[in-house]
A and B are shown apart, each in its own frame.
Chain A
Amino acid sequence: MEVIILANQFKLLAAALATAGLLAACGGGGGADTTPKAKVTSVKVMGDSLSDSGTFGFKFTVQGSAPTGAGSTMIWPERIADQYSQSLCAHYRAGDENLTSYQEVASCTNYAVGGGRVNPLGAPATSPLSVLVQIQAASKAGFSADDLVIIDGGANDAADVIGALIAAAKGNSQPLNAMVAWLDSKAPGTSAALMTQAGGDASKFAGLAAGAYLQTLAKALAGSIAQNVVAKGATRVAVLNVPAITKTPRFQMVLASIAQAAGGGDQGAAVAAKQEASFDALVQAFNAQLAASLAGQSQVAVVDFYTEFKNQISNPAQYDFDNVKDPVCPVTGVDGSGLPTYTFPTCTAAALSATPGKTSPDWWQHHVFADSFHPTPYGHQQMSQLVSRALAQKGWL
């Protein structure tokens, strides 16, 4: 009798244990909980063409089924905004790329403008081509603790400086002189001091002036972020540094022509490699100054786009890139310096996929470059993943 009772008890206990396990196993079917760690109710963007959601009615990459809005290519800040269930639209709207006239759309918080520079020399002081002007405009509209602010800038300035150095080496020092004059206007006596430092050597002076110019811009950008963004209540600010623009097809073509001019062959290649290293050092000087000037602010995450971009170029398979050299968009013209130009509004995904003679309609999908200076949609995805990492490491995503 006792044995029977015990056996029943035992069966009950076994059943209870087993049931507990099985029931627990039945709950839920997996999936994704896409609620970010941080509450972000608005994403605000300032920068250049990399971040432009359509100031001029298109994006600076391969166009989707629409140039802007629904169906358009998601560029990296839009992918970031999407993680917070936010969408972006261009704050400034203009018909021409010099923004001689433009409208502002108050409800759109992407202030980035293609061609944006920290210091657009020659543009009016209030032009939204200035990333600093964009920052001031966003600041005037107000920042809150629930904003995510993303800023990129400096790549076009660095390209200007490299262009000015190349022009100066060819005998046209006008662009470089304009930068030197600007430096002197900010800190009188700068050029005289640099000339002394260069020992009167014009080419050495050019290099020093170029470095000083970019470092001054990095300080100006960081200063504006501290003063107009962080001090105005933003608690989450991600700042991208300048990518290694010497690796873009545009500068690779410039370097190839430098090699050619230096006699080609090994000798030309050596001259071009030395030039590339000195241009790259200028980009690094900007980035080092930007990082130093932004350091110590817990509200700011500096995203090392420079290093990641270099990794993508040197190790493309790791990122599933299959071409790091050739722009996917067709060449549509030639600029003043003999470099090819491209037309983004007509460079659509559909047009590229319909390109005759390609083995697959997806042939262009995993190239790095859309034109000679801007990434493909997949390149934008990679950028968004890099920024996501920085945001997550800050506890913001």
Chain B
Amino acid sequence: MKKFLRIAAGAAALTACGLAGAQSAGTWSARIGATHLSPDVSSGNLSAPSFPNTKVDAKSDTQLTGGLTYMVTDNFALDVPLGLPFKNDLVGDGALAGVGKLGSTKVLAATVFAQYRFNAANAAFRPYVGLGVTYAWFFDEKTTATLNGLSGGTQANPTTAKLDNKFGITPQIGFVYNLNDRWFIDAAYYKSFLKSTIHLSTGQSIKVKFNPDVFAIGIGYRF
């Protein structure tokens, strides 16, 4: 964090240096901001043994994020969002509605976007559309006493969970608003079509489409 701020401050100090400022071919830019990830869950049923219609839902999370953009041409860009991993709570649904948190998982979603940016390279407002490939790496899954009780786990042998890492396709829309030659605001909405399977140590599994709605905003600097 501190390093971020120091570098951002350092970058700000450089704004006076007048280079060709537009989003033209060959320019790099970096941004820092926040991303809200809100899963739009469509859950399968937990395999037997289970209560009929046992489903899960996932809660949203917001994290400090940033990203790097490289302008391949004046209009085509490659964009890589970077940031802290999201931590999403998994809660009961269907037959388990109301039981609360069953566990949580962290997810680091690595995405590479190909973007088309409208308007001229030096325009103040440049909307864009993008299409990305996402690799979701689920890790640090933690289960709760609730899941333990619901799955026949004991203190001595608690039930644990593991999610499959998966690729997904991520369409995107957004815009860049250039505050000046160097600084800009970047806002985007994207949806990752991402499904995974949760495996319990008690043998059951459940297929889940997470399909998160993602809202990202950042302030960026062009080099």
Contacts and interface: CB of A to CB of B under 8 A. Distances in A.
Report the contact-size class of chain B (Cβ under 8 Å from the partner).
Answer: 35 or more
A28 B140 contact: yes
A227 interface: no
Contacts of B120: none
Interface residues of A, number: 51
Contact of A10 (B106, B139, B151, B223): B223
Main SS at interface, chain A: helix
A30 interface: yes
Contacts of A25: 85, 106, 108, 137, 139
Q: Nearest 10 pairs between A and B by C-beta?
A: A388-B149, A320-B49, A392-B99, A32-B158, A17-B82, A36-B145, A393-B98, A28-B140, A32-B143, A381-B152
A188 B49 CA distance: 50
Main SS at interface, chain B: mixed
Contacts of B142: 28, 30-33
Interface string A1-34: 0100111011011101110110011011111111
A85 B154 CA distance: 9
Interface of A: 2, 5-7, 9-10, 12-14, 16-18, 20-21, 24-25, 27-37, 74, 79-80, 82-83, 85, 311, 315, 317-320, 381-382, 384-385, 387-389, 391-393, 395, 397
A74 B154 contact: yes
Given A6-B14, A13-B7, A16-B3, A392 B100 contact: yes
Contact of A9 (B11, B150, B151): B11
Contacts of A382: 49, 152
A320 to B, nearest CB: 4
A393 B84 contact: no
Contacts of A392: 92, 96, 98-100, 146, 149-150
Most buried by A among B50, B64, B145, B223: B145
Interface string B17-43: 101000000001010100000000000
26 contacts: A7-B223, A9-B14, A10-B28, A10-B30, A13-B4, A13-B11, A17-B67, A17-B68, A17-B83, A21-B83, A21-B108, A27-B140, A29-B140, A31-B160, A32-B153, A33-B144, A33-B145, A36-B145, A36-B146, A37-B146, A318-B48, A319-B48, A319-B49, A385-B151, A392-B96, A392-B98
